[in-house]
Amino acid sequence: MLLMMMMSAMMCHMVKSKEHFVGGSEFGWVPLPANNLTNWSLNEHFHLNDWLYFGYDRRYFNVLEVNKTSYENCIDAGFLKNVSGGAGRDVFQLTKEKTYYFLSGGGYCRRGLKVAIDVNDYVAPAPAPTPHKSGASALDAYNIYHSLVVLILILMCSNFLG
């Protein structure tokens, strides 16, 4: 049963390795007021191994991964990773369950060109078998347990797809 759950969960993940256009469109990496990236990020769900796509005008913007402090204070020196490839079309894979921070140099961070990406792959723990009332057979208990597992899997998958 546990094995079945784990395999199904893994299948959900495989189906789901999704690409997110940062900012919600192909050229979404733009500062305020054109785009509110904070709001975009709050309305997206990011899962392990998903991809981010940054599309932007390379003459003005770039993409740097920074730590939380630098993100909050818009510091582009001492970045963690230069995501910019030079073409204004960059991809980045979310391989860790953590919060990633990105910003643009050139002073655009202060104009809102930054985003925090919270990768959260929380998987509900297996439910404890329901204690069976007197009168219910072990088979009934098993069937209830089985239905619960299936229900949880459906919920998990729809959450992944949402």
Ligand X SMILES: *[C@@H]1O[C@H](CO)[C@@H](O)[C@H](O)[C@H]1NC(C)=O
Per CB under 6 A, the list member of 12, 84, 90, 115 interacting with ligand X is: 84
Per CB under 6 A, the list member of 2, 14, 43, 139 interacting with ligand X is: 43
Per CB under 6 A, the list member of 32, 124, 150, 161 interacting with ligand X is: 32
Listed ranges 49-57, 64-72, 95-103, 151-159: which one lies at the site for ligand X (CB under 6 A): 64-72
Size of the residue set binding ligand X (CB under 6 A)? 17
Per CB under 6 A, the list member of 69, 73, 93, 95 interacting with ligand X is: 69
- Per-residue three-class SS string for the chain: CHHHHHHHHHHHHHHHCCEEECCCCCCCCCCCCCCCHHHHHHCCCECCCCEEEEECCCCCCCCEEECHHHHHHCCCCCCCEECCCCCCEEEEECCCCCEEEEECCCCCHHHCCEEEEEECCCCCCCCCCCCCCCCCCHHHHHHHHHHHHHHHHHHHHHHHHC
Determine, following the binding rule CB under 6 A, whether residue 159 of this chain makes contact with ligand X. Answer: no
